[in-house]
Chain A
Amino acid sequence: MELYQGSLDIKSIFSRWLDEERESNYGAFIPFIGTIRAENNIEALSFDIYEPILESWFNGWVERAKKRGAKVKMAHSIGDVPVHTSSYISAVFSPKRRVALELIDEFVEDFKANAPIWKYDILDGRRIYAEDRSTPMSGSGILASKEDN
Chain B
Amino acid sequence: MVKIEFLGPIEQESLEIEANSLKDVANFLQNIESINSWLDRCAVAVNSQMCNDLSKKLNSGDVVSILPPVCGG
Contact = CB atoms under 8 A, between A and B. Distances in A.
State the main secondary structure of chain A at its contact with B: mixed
Interface stretch (A11-19, A21-29, A50-58, A65-73): A50-58
B33 to A, nearest CB: 13
> How big is the B interface, by class?
35 or more
B15 interface: no
> How big is the A interface, by class?
35 or more
Contact of A141 (B25, B41, B65, B72): B41
B58 interface: no
Interface of B: 7-9, 21-23, 25-26, 29-30, 36, 39-45, 48-55, 65-73
Interface of A: 34, 47-50, 52-53, 56, 76, 87-88, 108, 111-120, 129-131, 133-146, 149
9 contacts: A48-B7, A50-B65, A53-B65, A118-B68, A120-B9, A129-B9, A137-B50, A143-B44, A149-B21
